Chain A
Amino acid sequence: MEFAARRSARRVLANLAASLLAGLALPAIAAAACPNENATPLVAGEAAARDSMYCLVNAARRRAGRRELTVNRALATEAGKYASRMVDERFFAHVDPQGNGLLDRTRESGYLNGYRLWALGENIGWGAGPLGSPKAMMAALMDSRPHRRNILSTNYRNMGVGVSTGIPVGGRFGATYVQEFGWRAR
């Protein structure tokens, strides 16, 4: 009787080589900031803030030794729509006023079409004024254990980020973020 949990020797060697390379390049990576990470979407634009958030999430994953997540268009579209809805309709929750949750929204986006196995997670956040920058939002998320777990989870392969100028409590001086995480298999 054997429970095969060990990784293959090839994979271990590959990880070792990657770690050594990462170690050599670490000072440069750690010092590099993501573009527009300190700019709020009101100044830099929502697209710039979104790209900055992708960069920050993958930088955090690299630092933790995790595989980077690839951007998925369906998840990104879903995240963008949901961020805008929270601002426009003034709610801040994982379930919208109509009772639709993350799974309903992700199904509607098409991300799960044709897949029998999947895992999903979601972080949402808003920050007023200077706290609406991607870096401030990412810092708040990483300071919270369950949010950090979503960001660094090895269960996900894809992500989508949505950014909307404005905050769900009213007012346009701030930004609202949605991070969708996903994995799927047939």
Chain B
Amino acid sequence: MIPRSPTARHRTGLLLATAAASALLAAGYPAASTAQDPAGNGTLVVAKQVTGGSGPDVGIFTFSGSWGESFPLSAGQQKATLLPPGTYTVSESPEPGYIPRGSSCAGPSGTETFPAPTATVNLGSGQSTTCTFTSEPIIDIGIQPEVTANARLRATRSCRGHRKLVALVTTGSATRVSFALNGRWFATGRRPHRGNTFRATTRTGRGPLELSARVTFTRGSSPPESRLTRRIAACPSGPAFAGGSRR
């Protein structure tokens, strides 16, 4: 290991981009042990950027250089290292939640792009090359379609002269309700009468009734459909209730 010279900290270290970076320096972030005589060295700058933002909550990305150093960088930070002329490789470790979008290195001979999060640089004496590594954050979403309880079917049957049946289906997420009386469909509704209640009325005889309802829930619901049946006893025999008409 080459002993660190008194000026090593000035030659190698984080460029101060954020308070976090300066803290790293204050804590004695290790300088590159391969620093040589400054006269013939080149400067390799590694920069990190994240599409969509930067800051302490964006993430810390880990880099390793072929000169034997690993270092962390957050989005918006960069690190400069003095190195002897030669060919160097810088690689970025995968960070969960981010897609690496490649890197590009800008130097005296132009800009070179790399599709992978690894960059190779030919560093000349006294030259400076900046390699920027870009990552894109991921967002992922999932959907649980509506889950419903079965609807509730209620009915009120009048045994008075008009002999009317009022059928009600109460549900949280029905889009369509069809009613049948004794196997014969008599009403269909697509909008609730009030709140979450679908209502239909029809005339009936005095005999026993079988009321059915077919309920179609909001698309994507589980279950998608429900069928309900309710039996209603015949009207009591004898004269109709007071107020009803006799026929």
Which residues from chain A sit less than 8 Å from chain B, CB to CB?
A: 1-5, 7-8, 40, 42-43, 92-94, 101-103, 116-132, 136-137, 140-141, 144, 146-147, 149-150, 153, 155-156, 167, 169-171, 173-174, 183-185
Given A43-B55, A130-B137; A5-B192 close (CB under 8 Å): yes
In the complex the two chains form, is B141's CB within 8 Å of A140's CB?
yes
In the complex the two chains form, is B172's CB within 8 Å of A124's CB?
no
Given A2-B201, A42-B57, A173-B57; A124-B142 close (CB under 8 Å): yes
Given A5-B190, A116-B149, A185-B196; A129-B172 close (CB under 8 Å): no
Q: Which of B1-9, B20-28, B92-100 contacts A (4 or more CB under 8 A)?
A: B92-100
CB distance from A151 to the nearest CB of B (A): 10
CB distance from B228 to the nearest CB of A (A): 12
B75, B97, B172: which contacts A174 (Cβ < 8 A)? B97
A interface: dominant SS: mixed
CB distance from B211 to the nearest CB of A (A): 14
In the complex, the chain A residue whose C-beta lies closest to that of B189 is: A3
In the complex the two chains form, is B58's CB within 8 Å of A94's CB?
no
In the complex the two chains form, is B56's CB within 8 Å of A94's CB?
no
Given A93-B142, A131-B52, A171-B95; A118-B172 close (CB under 8 Å): yes
CB distance from B151 to the nearest CB of A (A): 7
Q: Please, which residues of chain A bring their CB within 8 A of the CB of B151?
A: 117
In the complex, the chain A residue whose C-beta lies closest to that of B195 is: A185
Q: Mark B172-203, 1 if CB is under 8 A from A, else 0.
A: 11000000000000111111111010011111
A118, A141, A144, A167: which contacts B148 (Cβ < 8 A)? A118
In the complex the two chains form, is B146's CB within 8 Å of A167's CB?
no
CA distance A169 to B94 in the complex (A): 12
In the complex, the chain B residue whose C-beta lies closest to that of A103 is: B147
CB distance from B10 to the nearest CB of A (A): 31
CA distance A132 to B59 in the complex (A): 11
Q: Please, which residues of chain A bring their CB within 8 A of the CB of B104?
A: none
In the complex, the chain A residue whose C-beta lies closest to that of B146 is: A121
Q: Please, which residues of chain A bring their CB within 8 A of the CB of B193?
A: 4-5
Name 29 interchain pairs, CB-CB below 8 A, sorted by A. A4-B201, A5-B192, A5-B193, A92-B142, A102-B144, A103-B147, A117-B151, A117-B172, A119-B221, A120-B144, A123-B141, A123-B144, A125-B141, A127-B140, A128-B59, A129-B59, A129-B137, A130-B53, A130-B57, A132-B57, A144-B141, A147-B143, A155-B172, A155-B173, A156-B172, A171-B59, A174-B59, A174-B97, A185-B172
Given A92-B142, A128-B97; A1-B173 close (CB under 8 Å): no
Q: Please, which residues of chain B bring their CB within 8 A of the CB of A43?
A: 55-57
The B121-171 residues at the A interface (CB cut-off 8 A) are 137-149, 151-152, 170-171
